[in-house]
């Protein structure tokens, strides 16, 4: 038995070590990934959303596009797909045009145009295009610049269109109106605004995000010291879970401070630096794992109601923690892979699936604890005390569901609907929701002498622990029916072999 347990633990540790290795490699690979350079291998997408940016305009913005490779391919039966030097029949190139939100720009990739129509044939205002010379022109364009297929990395084509930029949220698209053809290109985009003579590579609406995250970080550091003060003042009521909650608040504060620094580096240089990216992503990942871990422990009543975890609760732990780690890896890759790459949408969908599964799984222990306490309230003679704990768990469950619903559903809807000048509202709203969740949970489970949830006696540990164990085995009905109202019959302990 000991060998089997040891083997299982070794396998679990090896699994977690591999996930952490992938996490570190993802962070290292993210170094300087914010410097926007998109390389597309031969493919056949009709429209690609390359990048969106909020411009101040009026001479205060820069937009430079550098093309180091551009080819289009036709297919023949002898050589297959090969680069073509012929003049395409329909437009193929890039278009910079206004959009209301980034979400509306992303949806452009999913549009299916009728036969004979394409992206370049739809009327758009203030459109700036870069195209290969073609038989059919692009309609409704403010300015047009030619692209040539003989460009190389040593002899690139550089387009400085800063003077044409007006205030607004502009999205850069690649389009190909020629059916049964492919393309490949390598492009670098440099976009920034000038604030009091200083370059800022964050778009309008994102300029004050570093300050916002810094203020939230300072607020969490204040809460951390307040929590430590309460633990020292009421040390007789401090449980192991309180130390984990203190560590969680500290990591949350540190994560926000590092995110502020991470964005400040991007605002200054236009891309991330390893010294800013590595600490931020690692601390963020550890914080995310610890958040779900603490929620699971609080939901099971560990160290508050019972000093152990049931087998089902341990299984949930072994499922949720790897999911959160893999979700962190997906977030890092989604954050650092350029949006125009086909892999970006794949990692975004993977991240959403992992997050939904982890959020659903983390609710199960709370539901089990509520059911166990409901049985305890009806079965024993300490109904009043059990009822108080039941209400506490129901409150925690309601707050947890509200937090998950708000951050996973409401905030993305807010983000997709916001005007380009106030995109900062979505992340600030998300942090406000997280702050409320932390404060309410802290108040409910703080180490206080008069906290009825923490006023447990040894018999409470014994009774509720036994009920939880028997309930998982499906025997709670039999025990409750056969035992008196004030007592739970305990099976005899088995002697160890």
DSSP per position, 290-354: HHHHHHHHHHHTBTTTBSS--HHHHHHHHHHHHHHHHHHHHHHHHHHS-TTSHHHHHHHHHHHHH
In 3-state terms the chain splits into helix, strand, coil percentages (rounded to 5) of 55, 15, 30
Q: What is the mean pLDDT of each run of 10 residues along the chain (497 residues)?
A: 42 55 59 62 87 90 92 84 86 92 86 82 87 84 88 89 92 90 90 90 92 96 95 87 93 96 91 84 90 86 65 82 87 84 88 90 80 64 56 79 92 89 93 95 79 48 50 46 43 44
| 216 vs 254: CA distance, rounded Å | 10
Give the pLDDT of residue 467.
52
| 463 vs 478: CA distance, rounded Å | 15
* List of residues 6+ apart from 435 with CB closer than 8 A: 216, 219, 220
Give the pLDDT of residue 29.
57
Give the pLDDT of residue 330.
87
| 465 vs 376: CA distance, rounded Å | 10
Sign of CA dihedral 442, 443, 448, 453: negative
Tell me how far the alpha carbon of residue 415 is from its chain's centroid: 13
| 42 vs 183: CA distance, rounded Å | 5
Q: Are residues 140 and 127 in contact, defined by beta-carbon separation less than 8 angstroms?
A: yes
* List of residues 6+ apart from 41 with CB closer than 8 A: 184
DSSP 8-state symbol, 493 = P
Print burial letters for 128-163: b (CB count within 10 Å at least 16), e (below 16). bbbbbebeeebeebeeeeebeeebeeeebbebebbe
Give the pLDDT of residue 10.
53
Bridge-based pairing of strands 143-146 and 128-131 is parallel
Q: What angle do CA 141, 145, 151 make, to 5 degrees?
A: 145
The residue assigned the tokens 């891309």 is: 271
Residue 305 has a CB neighbour count (10 Å cut-off) of 23
Give the pLDDT of residue 277.
84
**The pair of three-digit structure tokens given for residue 273, joined into one six-digit string:** 């630096």
Q: At what angle do helices 425-444 and 209-233 cross, to 10 degrees?
A: 0
């Amino acid at each position: 038995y000991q060998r089997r347990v040891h083997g299982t633990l070794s396998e679990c540790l090896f699994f977690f070590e591999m996930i952490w290795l992938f996490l570190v490699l993802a962070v290292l690979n993210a170094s300087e990934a914010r410097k926007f350079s998109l390389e597309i291998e031969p493919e056949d997408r009709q429209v690609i959303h390359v990048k969106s940016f909020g411009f101040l305009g009026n001479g205060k913005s820069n937009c430079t596009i550098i093309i180091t490779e551009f080819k289009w391919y036709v297919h023949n039966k002898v050589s297959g797909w090969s680069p073509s030097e012929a003049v395409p029949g329909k437009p193929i190139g890039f278009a910079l045009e206004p959009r209301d939100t980034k979400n509306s720009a992303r949806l452009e990739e999913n549009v299916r145009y009728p036969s004979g129509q394409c992206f370049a044939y739809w009327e758009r205002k203030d459109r700036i295009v870069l195209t290969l010379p073609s038989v059919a022109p692009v309609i409704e364009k403010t300015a047009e610049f030619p692209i040539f297929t003989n460009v190389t990395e040593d002899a690139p084509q550089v387009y400085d269109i800063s003077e044409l930029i007006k205030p607004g949220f502009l999205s850069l698209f690649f389009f190909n109106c020629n059916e049964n053809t492919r393309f490949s290109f390598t492009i670098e985009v440099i976009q920034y605004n000038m604030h009091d003579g200083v370059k800022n590579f964050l778009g309008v609406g994102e300029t004050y995000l570093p300050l916002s995250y810094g203020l939230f970080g300072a607020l969490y550091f204040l809460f951390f010291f307040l929590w430590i003060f309460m633990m020292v003042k009421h040390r007789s009521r401090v449980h192991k879970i309180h130390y984990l909650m203190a560590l969680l608040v500290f990591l949350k504060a540190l994560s926000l401070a590092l995110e502020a620094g991470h964005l400040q580096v991007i605002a200054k240089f236009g891309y991330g630096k390893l010294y800013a990216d590595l600490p931020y992503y690692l601390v963020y990942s550890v914080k995310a794992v610890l958040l779900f871990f603490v929620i699971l422990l609080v939901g099971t009543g560990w160290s508050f109601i019972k000093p152990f975890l049931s087998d089902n609760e341990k299984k949930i732990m072994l499922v949720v923690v790897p999911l959160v780690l893999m979700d962190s890896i997906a977030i890092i890759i989604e954050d650092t892979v350029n949006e125009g790459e086909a892999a970006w949408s794949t990692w975004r969908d993977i991240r959403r699936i992992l997050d939904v599964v982890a959020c659903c799984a983390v609710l199960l222990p709370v539901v089990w604890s509520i059911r166990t306490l409901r049985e305890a309230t009806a079965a024993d003679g300490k109904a009043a005390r059990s009822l108080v704990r039941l209400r506490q768990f129901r409150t925690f469950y309601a707050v947890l569901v509200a937090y998950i619903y708000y951050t996973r559903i409401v905030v993305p809807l807010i983000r997709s609907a916001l005007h380009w000048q106030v995109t900062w509202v979505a992340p600030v709203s998300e942090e406000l929701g997280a702050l409320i969740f932390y404060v309410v949970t802290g108040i409910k489970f703080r180490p206080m002498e008069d906290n009825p949830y923490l006023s447990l006696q040894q018999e409470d540990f014994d009774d509720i622990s036994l009920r939880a164990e028997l309930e998982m085995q499906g025997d709670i009905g039999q025990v409750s029916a056969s035992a008196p109202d004030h007592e739970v019959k305990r099976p005899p302990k088995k002697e160890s072999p």
